[in-house]
A = this chain, B = another copy of it.
Amino acid sequence: MVGTRKFNEEKVLDIAVDVFSRKGFNATTMLDLAEETGVQRGSLYNAYQNKNVLFFKAFSHYTDNFLMFIEKELQNSDAKKAFTQLLKTVVERLCNDKEVRGCFSTRAIMEAAQKCPDIQLCLTRFLDGLEVIMKNRLEQAIKDKQFIGDAQATARYLVALTRGIAVIERVYNDKDRMTEVYQTALEYMPFKQVL
């Protein structure tokens, strides 16, 4: 390539995620993004065609990271502990002050998706990914006799639950309440203790 891009795309996308998280899709302007990334508005228009595309790239970047991150949390050999750890981490990420983002994807769903079919697709890919990760772990748990139930249905149920917890974060901003929710859910799930 000849005229090389000056700005660090990785960084720009990270910052974009942050800005979109704070202000929401519609309320974020290209000027906001330019100011916070330090990249001129014109450059952003040159690199991405418009806000939709930029958002799409930023969102994909975010969800890819998130899924990779979350998968590691299910490694505990005890299924119930594994899912407890997963949900604990989800809650922690949602409440993390530094990344004050609440749930980026939930906001995206509510705002950006209807304006851009690509984003809608990207969202289903994300939740499908989350579902698969959990389904696989549940199937393992069934093999290990640590869980009795339908892995597929339960995974979908858990995906919904994590979305619900993300909403609770927005309304109450109360980590204890979020913790209570997932603990109640886990208590009710048909895990079996293997001694």
Binding site for B on A (CB under 8 A): 24-27, 106-107, 109-111, 113-115, 120, 123-124, 127, 149-150, 153-154, 156-157, 159-168, 170-172, 177, 180-181, 183-185, 188-190
12 A-B pairs with C-beta separation under 8 A: A24-B26, A26-B111, A110-B110, A120-B171, A124-B171, A153-B184, A157-B180, A157-B181, A159-B164, A162-B164, A163-B164, A163-B168
Complex interface: chain B residues within 8 A of A185 (CB): 157
A163 and B115 CA atoms in complex are apart in Å by 22
Q: Which residues of B contact A188 (CB under 8 A)?
A: 149, 188-190
Asked if A167 and B167 make an inter-chain contact with CB atoms under 8 angstroms apart, the answer reads: yes
Q: Report the separation of the CA atoms of residues A150 and B159 in the bound assembly, to the nearest whole angstrom.
A: 23
Instruction: Collect the chain B residues with CB atoms within 8 Å of residue A167's CB.
Output: 106, 109-110, 160, 163-164, 166-167
| A contact face: mostly helix, strand, loop, or mixed | helix
- The reply to whether A160 and B168 form a contact with Cβ atoms under 8 Å apart is yes
* Contact between chains at A110 and B113 (CB < 8 Å): no
> A109 — which chain B residues lie within 8 A by C-beta?
167, 170-171
- Inter-subunit contact A110/B180 (CB<8 Å): no
The answer on a CB contact under 8 Å between B110 and A106 is yes
A170 touches B111 (CB 8 A): no
B-side contacts of A170, CB under 8 Å: 109-110, 113
Complex: A107 Cα to B108 Cα, angstroms: 10
Top 4 A-B pairs, shortest CB-CB distance: A164-B164, A26-B26, A160-B164, A163-B167
